[in-house]
Amino acid sequence: MEAIEKRQQDLEYDQRRMIDSVMEREFKKINIDRLIVQDQDGEDVLVTDENQIKILVANHFQNCAGSVNCEKEIPDEWTNEYKPKEDILKSVYDEVLFPITIEELIETAKMLPPKKATGPTGITYEDIKLTIEPMKGMKNISRKKPLDDIVKIKFGEDIIEVKPTPRNSNSRFLGVWISAFNDNSHVIQQIKDEISAIIKNISCRKGITDKMMIYLFNMLIIPIIEYRSQLYVIEENILDSLMAKFRSFFKNRLKFARTAPNAILETNWIYNLNNFVANQRQAKITNFILQINDTGILGRIMEIRFLNVQQQLLLENHPLYVIDYKLIQKIRKIKNIGFKYHFILNNIRLMLENKFSIADNAGLLTEYNIEGGPTLLRDVISDDVYIKNFNMLQENNLIFVDQITTLDKNYLLSIEEMELKRYTKLISTKRMSQEHRKSYERIIIDLSCSKISFKIKAQIHDKMLAIDEIYNLKGTVLLPTTVLPEKGATIVSRITRGPFQNRTIFGRVIKTEVDSKIIYFSHFETLTDDFEKNVILRRCEGCELGTLNAEVFKKEIKSKCLIIERIDSTFLLSPNRWNKQHHLKRLQKNTYYYEGISANFYDEALRYNYAFNNNIIEHRLDNGRMIQYDVPINEDNIDKYLAKGNRYNISNQRIKQIKDRIKIDSSNNIHVYIDGSVIDNGSENIKSIFGITIYDDKERLIDKYFSTIEQWLTSTKAETMAFFIALLLINEDKNFIVYTDSSNVIKNYELLTNKWLSTTTRDILKFDKNNALWFNIKEILDSFTQQLEVIKVKSHSDNKLHNKLDEEIRSWYNMEDRLANTLIKYNTEQYKFPIMWNGYIIEMNLRRFVRLLSRTQGLEKFLNLNRNWRYRLLDVKWEIVFSYINKQVIGETTYKTDRFISKQKRMKVQRLIEEIPTIEQMKKSSYEIYQDFKCVFCYKKKEDFYHVWTCRHNRKILKQIIKRTIDKLIGLLKEYGATFDESKILTDINKFDIFFPKFREDKFNFIDLIKGIFPKQLNDYIEKLGVVGKKNIINLGTELLQYVMDETKQHIWMPRCEKLKVIEKNHGITEKDKKRSDINIGKEKQEDILQRPINLFGRYEDLEGVKEYILFGKEILDFTVVVNRSVLEQHINHQEDKINVDLQNNTREKTTHS
């Protein structure tokens, strides 16, 4: 027992020893009892004093690494050698991204000098040569020809045997397990092993309390799991199943029933057992935001990976802005294992599932924008067809609908017409593969309504944007006949003169004259419709286009219809086909079949090509007309950091006006006083105003500025906003002195301007408040060249100018509707991707905010339990409820624990969730034993939670307890300093529903008090009586609930348990019988236990508490009251409607009967 008590005390005073004791860790320690050192004369001295040895050893390890690295100055004669070159040929980088071949490695290794080694590692170049040479035998390794179990590799004269890692396995690198195919199965197995290990260690230890188990799991297992899974985002259902084993063990160890809801464990207000899902959410989202906003090599790597994702997934813009939950689901169905476990995609999915997004960055949207469209293929092609044929789309870079349509967007292109597009990989001598041909044909069937012309379906055509605007040829390749095609090649031309000018015609080349830039060709007429995809051409026997030319040149050229045209207006029908004299698709004499092309396709291409070349139609990029990106160029800080808002918001113009007034002022020194405040904090009427007053050297007022703010309203934000606006007003030719009473502003300013510290993105994101705003401030401070002095003013001191500003701000609260909000842009170079939640910029420590979300979700999960449906309609003071549950003895601290504290809390929670071991509760696990049992007192009714207290045997006892409870409440009110009329207090208290002895669904009653529920109505009454301080009211309520717990336990529950023991003994029921599981689960048990009504009315699902926290600064627990009021109104209306319907039905039945 002494060892158990010591282990329990260690949780409070020495957690490390407690962990070592439970986990059976070996204590390893190096004892240095003597040490030889050299004195000042170089003589060896033996040191045996323990304290002196510690000092000498510490000093040795502090200095053994040498001096700190510092920058080296480059001598003048070497400056030019190290000076960056201004001009470098782009071709230098052409082969940088090409994969390095084994041959290149071997060739480079041969050039390494002998008898030398690399500096950092000390590995000799001879060893490197020996390592690279065996790679020759690995060139032919593939999935079809894997390596043998043992691979023999020759290193010089030695032969060593290497056992290769299986391709579906993993390897450990720097403590992290890595899979070549990014499979996370090994991490899942490691998590299972860790959970099994801690369960095994706890199981064989006596005296392990609830707080000890929670501490071990939260502080030992959670960090290990977070480290092992840092490269993977694991599915939430998998993580939840991994937690199930420990949750079950935890409940069993504390003697909870298996039916006890998991919500009591994972809400921080009760047991605060961290879970894998919440921890993954906190770690992954925080680390991902740090990675994408990194300004060093990590950030550059993320940029490259984003570009790769954009290319792989055919995205029209940056993945963070384009990918939504619907697209994620579509991507995961594509048969590509790389997408399933893709780190970036899974992080984006995790953000989307938790309503996180990234604020728009105009610069990045322009940089990553893919010109074209704007209608996307994935939006018009059915999901099944898009997923099945994604590989074909990917290989041919097909993103937008207009890439596969004619210029007028009325018809789809055929495969042969697609070959004429620059962005496809089909422009080659080889035809499209059979697989890709089938894929494209499936897309044509999905989008078109005609097998002959490929006309687009009307419903899809309506979805397409800007259908009648054409600004370029959409990548169509028109190959001019200046390439000197062979005689007989098929061409298409646009007539440039004569009465038939601008008419498109087909023909076959007879001869070309390069010097005169003229081509002679035979005219062919079309026998098919212009929109039909398979064109049939027949040699013209003579028409108004070429009869005259044929007659003139009949001695030189044999043709009945000859066309003479300029070479630059004549084009080959295809770069790859129909360019020779002999045509394979000959139908009959002088009639030819051209598969897959239409006359309309060439007519459009030539017509618009002519219009663009002659500036008849403006030629520009597609998205330039659709999206106007506001990318500021050489703008001042005001335009860069402030949004203009609407025409009624003049803050932007007002600040510019003030800056101009400062500029023309004659003073060299400008004194700026800033301040801000908040009123009605924690309510819907919360208001926040900040102000700035500007004075010259002689304390003459130059101007002043006042504004309101929205979201994350605190006095700290108001003062930070004032400081931010003051920085925007600074002119380069003047000295500015800023006066503030905010310690937070002074602290952060000194941190950001400290020359010896480099403030990283991670550091600013760790700021408790307003970190998004401080990124803007840091960028402004980094750009300053002039002097800025920030002076701390004592709040409400004798500084008259600052006090005057404070008074003016207070006066503005009565007319704050006349002030405009100051709207901010959050897009600095160091914070390119500002993170948002539900459309709100996150302005606090990111990990703490995600933890706040997780805790609020845990609270909602608890409140949404079916058994808590009444408390979603009634106003409960949950702070008192949770304080009572977590406080068992006087002076209890977070880590103080023993067997009594653990058991007492378990009993309170069992009452709260209505799972004390009543007969009906025990039937859930031992139905065969207790199926015929009734109430142990009245023997008539089922003994459930409510019947225990309201049984007729206990009615008189309960009324006595209620009377004593009211007396206890009056005594506590006196103790905590309440003032009241003793003659009236009893009458007032008896009016409260909470002291009513019988159970009622729609109102409070004393059974709720037994459960540990404290009504807000009673809390407000206590506050009204003059109990000062929120803490005192919570303590009073906690003591009252504890009194009710002790009284009902002593006078009702304990006698009931003693009587049950007697009954069980009479029936021969032993503890062993109770632990035995039921052999048969009968129909009676299913109907009696499992078929319980589910009440989903008034559920919390939108994290209202977090929204109230952001908008009004409310505490998380306060949101339930606001929501309950609206829900209660709905419930009352619902009940009234139900009553009216019942009355109407009864009236109809009576009328029918009559």
- Identify the burial level of 600 via C-beta atoms within 10 angstroms of its C-beta, where 0-12 means exposed, 13-18 middle and 19 or more buried: buried
| Residue pLDDT, tens place only, 813-869 | 988 888 888 888 887 888 999 999 998 999 999 999 999 999 888 888 998 898 898
More confident residue, 12 or 1077: 12
* Closest listed residue to residue 965, CA positions, set 881, 855, 1039: 1039
Sign of the Cα torsion 842, 846, 849, 853 reads positive
- State the DSSP H helix or E strand holding residue 504, giving kind and residue range, or none if neither: strand 504-513
Mean per-residue pLDDT for 800-825? Answer: 89
Q: How far is CA 856 from the centre of its chain?
A: 17
The pLDDT score that the predictor gives to residue 139 is 57
Nearest CA among 1103, 682, 1101 for reference residue 853: 1103
CB 663 within 8 A of CB 792: no
- pLDDT for 1143 beyond 50: no
Q: How far apart are CA 1034 and CA 1101, in angstroms?
A: 27
DSSP state of 151: E
Q: Which range scores top for mean pLDDT: 29-43, 293-307, 458-472?
A: 293-307
Task: Give 651's contacts (C-beta < 8 A, 6+ positions apart).
Answer: 642, 645, 707, 820, 821, 822, 823
Question: Greater confidence, 484 or 884?
Answer: 884
Q: What is the pLDDT of residue 624?
A: 46
- Residues 6 or more apart in contact with residue 863 via CB below 8 angstroms: 871, 872, 1100, 1120
Q: What percent of the chain has pLDDT over 90?
A: 39
- Of 22-31, 556-565, 689-698, 1036-1045, the least confident: 22-31
pLDDT of residue 144: 52
Angstrom distances, CA of residue 728 to CA of 40, 254, 731, 775, 799: 60, 60, 9, 14, 24
Comparing C-alpha atoms, which of 752, 748, 798, 790 is closest to residue 768?
Answer: 748
Long-range contacts of range 421-428, CB-CB < 8 Å, 24 or more positions apart?
421/474, 421/475, 421/476, 421/477, 422/475, 422/476, 422/477, 423/396, 423/397, 423/398, 423/475, 424/396, 424/397, 424/398, 425/395, 425/396, 425/397, 426/396, 427/477, 427/575, 427/576, 428/576
Pairing between β-strand 840-841 and β-strand 835-837 as defined by DSSP bridges:
antiparallel
Are 770 and 720 contacting, i.e. CB atoms less than 8 angstroms apart?
A: yes
Q: What CATH code is assigned to 637-832?
A: 3.30.420.10
Token pair in block for residue 199: 């369960």
Going from N- to C-terminal start, the domains of the chain cover 2-60, 103-140, 179-359, 370-474, 481-597, 637-832, 875-1076
Average pLDDT, the chain: 84
Three-class SS state of 835 = strand
Coil vs helix vs strand at 951: coil
* Residue with more model confidence, 29 or 529: 529
| SS3 assignment, position 980 | coil
Which helix (H) or strand (E) element contains residue 854? helix 846-863
Tell me if the bond preceding 223 is cis, omega within 30° of 0. Answer: no
More confident residue, 39 or 64: 39
Pairing of strands 490-494, 535-539: unpaired
Q: What is the CA radius of gyration of the chain?
A: 41
Query: Higher model confidence: residue 1060 or residue 29?
Result: 1060
For residue range 837-851, what is the model confidence (pLDDT) as tens digits? 998 999 999 999 999
First CA to last CA distance, the chain: 80
**Encoded tokens for 648:** 């009624």
Model confidence band, residue 228 (pLDDT cutoffs 50, 70, 90): confident
Tell me the C-alpha distance between 415 and 417, whole Å: 5
Task: For strands 788-792 and 735-740, give the pairing.
Answer: parallel
Structure token digits, residue 125:
């170049």
CA dist list (Å): 277 to 235, 237, 240, 266, 353? 9, 9, 7, 11, 12
The band of 121, judged by pLDDT with boundaries at 50, 70 and 90, is low
β-pairing verdict for 701-708 and 158-162: unpaired
Confidence (pTM): 0.83
Among residues 702, 685, 684, the alpha carbon closest in space to that of 693 is found at 702
The pLDDT of residue 99 is above 80: no
Q: How do residues 1031-1077 score in pLDDT, each as one tens digit?
A: 999 999 999 999 999 999 999 999 999 999 999 999 999 888 888 87
Identify the pLDDT of residue 337.
Answer: 63
Shortest CA distance to 10 belongs to which of 210, 212, 272? 212
Range in 454-468, 978-992, 1089-1103 with the lowest mean pLDDT: 1089-1103
What is the rounded CA–CA span in Å between residue 221 and residue 19?
Answer: 11
Residue 644 has pLDDT above 70, yes or no: yes
628 band by pLDDT with thresholds 50, 70 and 90: very low
Phi–psi pair at 372, nearest 5 degrees: 135, 180
pLDDT (0 to 100) of residue 1138: 52
Q: By C-alpha distance, which of 1028, 1023, 1035 is closest to 977?
A: 1028
Decide: helix, strand or coil at residue 735. strand
pLDDT tens across 230-248, in order? Answer: 889 999 999 999 999 999 9
Six-digit token string for 728? 């925007």
Residue with the two structure tokens 């010896």: 756
Give the per-residue pLDDT at 798.
79
Query: So what's the pLDDT on residue 649?
Result: 61
pLDDT of residue 1090: 52
**Residue 102: what pLDDT?**
74
Which is more confident, 436 or 441? 441
Average pLDDT over residues 184-200: 90
Instruction: Give how far Cα 917 sits from Cα of 441, 566, 907, 923, 1011, Å.
Output: 67, 99, 10, 9, 14
Q: Higher-confidence residue: 102 or 327? A: 327
Higher pLDDT, 142 or 690: 690
Q: How confident is the model at residue 919 (pLDDT cuts 50, 70, 90)?
A: very high
Asked whether 621 and 474 are in contact (CB, 8 A), the reply is no
In this prediction, residue 66 carries a pLDDT of 64
Check whether 567 has a pLDDT greater than 70: yes
